Structure 1
Amino acid sequence: MTTANTWDETLDDLGRRRARVLEMGGPDRVAKHRGKGKLDARARIERLLDPGTFQEFGTLVGGDIAAADAIVTGSGLINGVPVMVGAEDFTTLAGSIAPGSNSKRYRLAELAVRDKVPLVMLLEGAGFRPTGDHYGRTPTDLLAQAQCSGKVPMVTAVLGPSAGHGALVAPVADFSIMSRQGCIFTAGPPVVKVSTGEDISKEDLGGPDVALPSGVVHNVAETDEDVLDEIRRYLSYFPPSAWSYPPVYLADETTGPRATPELLDIVSRDNVQSYDMRAVLDVVFDGTDWFEVQPERGTPIICALAHLGGHPVAVVANQPQVLAGSIDTEAADKAAHFIMVADSFHLPIIFLADNPGMLPGSESEREGVLRSGARMFVAQTAATTLKLHVTLRKAYGFGSMVMSLIGFDGQAGTFAYPGATMGAMGAAALSNASNAEADLAAELREMELKASYHSAEHMGFDELIRPEETRDVLLRSLQRGLYGRQTPAQPVQRTVIIP
């Protein structure tokens, strides 16, 4: 006599419910979505994660009315490292947020901090669902997401229209990137029309041409696939959390010491002539595939993630091709945020200075250049991570201080090229300001050219170096400085008030 398997009916019911969830908004809506050249929420997660590693939770939230309650959530691996990931499903009720999906979002961030792993959010949603049920003492996902800040890497992708509450995770994140079809705004065009009378398209309201200059989003890539690949690249430079140090890549022919004679041709000795600082990065670091953050905003400064001797590093470099390297408001704001992110996750910061100071002028002052410069200065002086500095040709006034050219400011190494000019201001500006006669102006220029030797004589920096020695002195200083990591990593405790 056999006993009937009483599990069959129960498991069949579970299978039916799971199959319904996998359909998302149904075949027609999924096909329409993909017909726009986009991936659906589940395909996005599949592209983002290492194959076969996704483990979903909250599948039954939303019941039969809304598959997974319009957001797919779970964990997986990126480059072998665990991550938490959430993808809004636009095919289901426009990816809108209800109490159940809000709880799923909260749970994602809660688990990211608890398990000390990165959090990735893939956005394409209409914000809160107009039910009214989200008011009151329901879990608010932004509370948990804010708790992630400085503890685990947070990355957001905007892959379609993202509005209201859901969109707020992008500016909360350390790094945000959007596709060319992405749009992000406080409220979409219909609400704007009712509220203000303005008739505007979603692209003009919050597309890449708006979100990038505003700084709400850092980078842009063409397609969903490109965005997801860039997220994988970005996270490869970071540890899983602030409780661990960045990964080190095995040594090969690109990671060892080598001279950099190419810099003699790239960096003009004449301070007036321009050059592309990106070419310097190509030569100094392990390869040319370094990752630039916010390349289209604050262009007088380059902020990049690179490798030196196999070690991930953050690079803050003046760009002489833009405003002669003068630091404007957007550049300083960009650099301040980048420095704080790098410091939070223990990435060494390498400053490559070549600037005539903060950008002067009435427009710059109206934009608050001093406040932004102070923000960058506080961020870099408060940074607890390893810092290295090279002055290539010039660094004047406050523009030198925000680039970490301050004696005994905790740097693991400070260097300059011979003939590098520095001081409160350039000789030409000082001559004009003081109405100097020709002979005095010439004397000021001579003093300017000798400034690097004068500073070296007083330990203004550790050593004057030849351009050919740049990579090797940075690499040796980095390797020595990393020996200071003799205690377990911990989240950075900041006591400063950022201007």
Structure 2
Amino acid sequence: MTESRRAAQAQANSAAWAETLADLEARRARSRAMGGADRLATHRGGGKLDARARIERLLDPGSFRELGTLVGGEVAADGIVAGSGEVDGAPIMVGAEDFTTVAGTIGAGSNSKRYRIAELALRNRIPLVMLLEGAGFRPGKHGGRSPTDLIAQARCSGQVPTVAAVLGPSAGHGALVAPVCDFRIMSRHGAIFTAGPPVVKESTGEEISKETLGGPGVALPSGVIHNVVEDDAAALDTVRHYLSYFPSSAWSYPPSRAADAEPRPTPELLEIVPRDNRRVYDMRAVLDVVFDDSDWLEVQPNFGRGIVCALAHLGGHPVAVVANQPQVMAGSIDSDAADKAAHFIMVADAFHLPIVFLADNPGMLPGSRSERDGVLLSGARMFTAQTTATTIKLHLTLRKAYGFGSMVMSLLGFDDQVATFGYPGATMGAMSAGALSRAAKADAELSDRLHDAELRASFNSAANLGFDELIDPRETRTALLGALRHGLHRRQAAAEPVLRTAILP
């Protein structure tokens, strides 16, 4: 073939492709337009980002690769924008419901996309993030024997990190995505419910707003949502922050970061932690001093507030912190706090985050209301979660740890801790000296003896190796960091998912 004929053939080929590629681009453009200019303007006017802008804010710039762009045909992306991208250079799968397109409802195509991104997250061993704002299944568009996306998502549990952000009203099937995820965050615009106000009105006659039905004021106390932030941007930034502590999957270890890893004294703790057990202090101030910086992330700060659950760094290594909060009920552990901690411990264990227990509690919360709330069941759930955890465990008793409250905080012999520490003067036992005196109707002399024995408890325990060591509060960071470094030497084989043999009660 002559050069001129080759040029003519190439030109003809290009011309033949032009019409097809123009059609492809037109279809892509229709999908990218989502619900159209008017609906997008209304959506953004409410102070929210649209689905594509949410993905852009979440991911590293230019990293998004869409999947199923043309699914739905005339219904843009069939109501969900989905694909892969990167967060801080690490790959993830992401789906964002598009409320401007048929209210973000789920059709056959979007159900398949939701299943596909969860399937790929597990297959490729990378996190799954779902950005929710939708009205559930589309009327008349479901049924039959097609697989539900929740099957694939449930299979991700404990295998890859899963996160849900509720950024608007989320109802029905779509709302079920959130509680299946490890971490759930909501903006002030969010609401989550089994069925929305119209269905509630039709079913029960109750007239109720979205906010009253499932807004932050309901979703936080119920435990359905972990954290609430002001807007979309803050929610997406928090998702990035959360993922920074985790490995891509249970087949790898959490990523360490460059940090000032040198041991350092913590004299500030002498001012923060009162010597008198009856005085309160904020455990969060202890975390600020002990861990690498104050940029740690608290999970469920407004639920079960007697325990602080946080993600932090110690010597550059991601750790999960479970700490009693003396500011709340003197650090007593109620049902909500135990349930929160149990879930947090299981997530940390699944992804090989070392757990640091900071104990300062008078025990499980007593009383008729606490018993009606099922404090024993919740305490058993937390105990089972922590004692079956296979990850590195470190324990420190700051001032007190009594009864079952000490056991759920891993102050227990032969519980596979890498290290157990206590401050001198820490008190422990089945119950406090004051409670024991009242229970025994002790006279003044016996009460004094019981109180004196309580004050010697830490030294008596250390004399029998109840603690590996009693430490000066100024040695706290140094002791925990040294123990963590030794514990990390166990990572001489490839990481694997946790094999769970216990059923949580």
State the TM-score bracket (shorter-chain normalisation).
over 0.9
- Aligned with 1:124: secondary structure? strand
Deviation of the 1:223 alpha carbon: 0.7
* 3-state SS, counterpart of residue 31 of structure 1: helix
Residue 36 (structure 2) pairs with residue 26 (structure 1): yes
Aligned to 1:317: 323
Q: Which 4+ residue blocks in structure 1 deviate beyond 2 angstroms?
A: none
Structure 1 residue 202 and structure 2 residue 198: aligned? no
Q: Secondary structure at 2:82's aligned position in 1?
A: strand
| Residue correspondences, number | 495
Matched, 1:335 2:341: yes
1:143 aligned onto 2:158: no
TM-score normalised by L of structure 2: 0.98
1:283 to 289, 293, 296: 289
Map of 1:187 onto structure 2: 195
Higher mean Cα deviation, 355-364 or 3-12? 3-12
1:43, 1:415 → 2: CA distance? 48
- Report the residue type matching 2:372 in the other structure: R
Other-structure match for 1:441: 447
Look up the SS of the partner of 2:482 in the other structure.
Answer: helix
- Deviations 1:111-155 (Å, cap 9, x if unpaired)? 000000000000000000001x41121120000000000000000
Deviations 1:53-76 (A, max 9, x none): 000010111002x10000000000
Mapping for residues 94-113 of structure 1, pairs under 5 Å: 94-113=103-122
TM-score by length of 1: 0.99
Question: Could you tell me how far 1:251 is from its partner in structure 2?
Answer: 3.0
1:99 is aligned with what amino acid? A
Cα distance in 2 for partners of 1:96, 1:389 equals 47
Q: Which amino acid aligns with 2:84?
A: S
1:414 maps to what in 2?
Answer: 420
**Residue 489 of structure 2, aligned match among 483, 494, 499:** 483
Q: Partners in 1 of 2:257 and 2:50 — Cα distance? A: 34
Q: Which amino acid aligns with 1:343?
A: D
2:183 pairs, out of 175, 182, 190, with 175
Residue matched to 1:259: 265
Deviations 1:434-468 (A, max 9, x none): 01111111000011011101111111110000000
Q: Give 1:80-479 correspondences, 5 Å limit.
A: 80-131=89-140, 133-252=141-260, 255-479=261-485
How big is each residue's C-alpha offset from its partner over 1:309-365, in whole Å with a ceiling of 9 and x where there is no partner?
A: 000000000000000000000000000000000000000000000000000000000
Give the fraction of aligned pairs with identical amino acids, expressed as a percent: 73
Equivalent in 68, 80, 86 of residue 71 of structure 1: 80
Q: Does 1:493 align with 2:499?
A: yes
Post-superposition Cα deviations, 1:202-245, rounded to whole Å, max 9, x if no partner, equal 00000001001100000011010010000000000000000000
User: CA deviation digits over 1:160-182, x for unaligned, max 9?
Assistant: 00000000010000000000000
Structure 1 portions without partners, runs of 5+: none
Structure 1 counterpart of 2:65, one-letter code: Q
Is the 1:407–1:459 contact (alpha carbons within 8 Å) kept by the matching residues of 2? no
Using the alignment, how far apart are the partners of 1:42 and 1:298 within structure 2?
A: 35
Distance 2:234 2:78 in 1: 27
2:67 aligned residue (46, 50, 57):
57
Shift of 1:83: 0.2
* Secondary structure in structure 2 of the residue aligned to 1:251: coil
> 5+ unaligned residues in a row in structure 2: which ranges?
none
> CA separation in 2, counterparts of 1:105 and 1:478?
39
